[in-house]
Structure 1
């Protein structure tokens, strides 16, 4: 891992790639399967689509071409997501996290009985060892995580309960059997932006300035990673 950390350190000052790579940004879940429910009753898909839109715009401002996947929320098959991303240089699936029922508490919000947690918060990044390019996937995940940490975001250590560490310091974990990560032809990372079941973090994840700062960190990490790997579908 020492070479990886050296690579990340060398890349932290890079904000734009020289070529014009193609990045697929996938909105996790959809209109039918909305994903997790936040502490205040919003479905995860709403969080995912909002942040993915900000990230896509931020990438384009860096002259990175973006392929938008599932922004309409109408993709029903997990296999269809990597199929639509085929031909891109990198695939990022945007999600927001929850926690198992054993760690939930009940409360009433706006007249609704809902649940929340106080034990889990923070971002997480996932890669699969079964991905066709696990090295690039891990490098990009670690670079994204390093940039997030550099900008004040804190990774969740909770994932270590279920997943092997790929780069725990930067919030990266293995999730080998995740369809969107291994049934693809390109480097792929799943990004959990934060825990919407945590009442405080839910509000933070909806803060526009914070969203912009997080999107900038993720976009910088992607740009830096693609720069060092030299990947561009347009070359």
Structure 2
């Protein structure tokens, strides 16, 4: 199974974005979920910005990048008022693939207090970098893992560096591409299609926070994510993963 998935991954990475779009006969729908909400905004960055704001910016760029590749894309929870965790996969029921966009933090024991622009905040410069998660409770775990690995490979090929932080707590599904198992994430195991949760970086890291705010870098990351998703959901990528399983 592993060898077949790697062959499919290699083939997917060889497809430039324009070719992927041009080969579509029926454009798949990709659901892009904005992690967290206005009422539960997730982590607070080293400079006081909510994770939800980071998530919404990057998710919007991913949707636009997917559409440029010829895919249909739906943004879930754009207003930050989604009613529940369960509602996220429910709203994505018609999609071929679901990706939930998040930004990472660290445990309270690793945080150092500091003051920025008069605000009492905290930071940790111990870890930076992205990571990806799949659930073995998802109904299509093989395709979920192939998609996560494809996205991870695209990002690393473009120079984005994954974090080692999550390897301390979460079992690797694909260590080379920073993909982990996180079986009990509702958005992943309640999904009716292959699903991946993406952590774009660590907002508590003071230097990485600035990178994560940079529009040009956001755009490059979004384009690589979109190209990985397109390679996975088109040109028989999902079917190949299922056959490998």
Q: State the TM-score, normalizing by the size of structure 1.
A: 0.96
- For the 8 Å contact 2:12–2:237, the answer to whether it is kept is no
Distance 1:230 1:182 in 2: 18
Structure 2 matches for 1:182-193, cutoff 5 A? 182-193=189-200
- For the 8 Å contact 1:157–1:168, the answer to whether it is kept is no
Aligned mate of 2:53, from 46, 50, 60: 46
Q: Secondary structure at the match of 1:72?
A: coil
Residue in 1 that maps onto 2:231: 224
In the TM superposition, residue 230 of structure 1 has moved relative to its aligned partner by 5.3
Residue in 2 that maps onto 1:97: 104
Residue in 2 that maps onto 1:59: 66
Distance 2:211 2:75 in 1: 25
Residue in 2 that maps onto 1:10: 11
1:39-95 deviations in whole A, cap 9, x for unaligned?
000000000000101111010111110111100100131000000000100000000
Residue in 1 that maps onto 2:157: 150
Distance 2:190 2:168 in 1: 25
- For the 8 Å contact 1:128–1:182, the answer to whether it is kept is yes
- For the 8 Å contact 2:103–2:201, the answer to whether it is kept is yes
Aligned mate of 1:113, from 96, 116, 120: 120
Report how many residues are paired. 231
Q: Secondary structure at the match of 2:159?
A: coil
Unaligned runs of 5+ in 2: 240-245
Residue in 2 that maps onto 1:82: 89
- For the 8 Å contact 2:143–2:238, the answer to whether it is kept is no
Unaligned runs of 5+ in 1: none
Distance 1:167 1:5 in 2: 11
Aligned mate of 2:218, from 203, 208, 211: 211
Q: Secondary structure at the match of 1:220?
A: helix
Distance 1:158 1:166 in 2: 15
Q: Which moved more, 1:16-25 or 1:142-151?
A: 16-25
In the TM superposition, residue 168 of structure 1 has moved relative to its aligned partner by 1.1
- Find runs of 4+ consecutive structure 1 residues off by over 6 angstroms: none
Assess, with a 3 A threshold, how the Cα gap between structure 1 residues 134 and 230 changes in structure 2: closer, same or farther: closer
Q: CA RMSD in A?
A: 1.1
Q: State the TM-score, normalizing by the size of structure 2.
A: 0.92
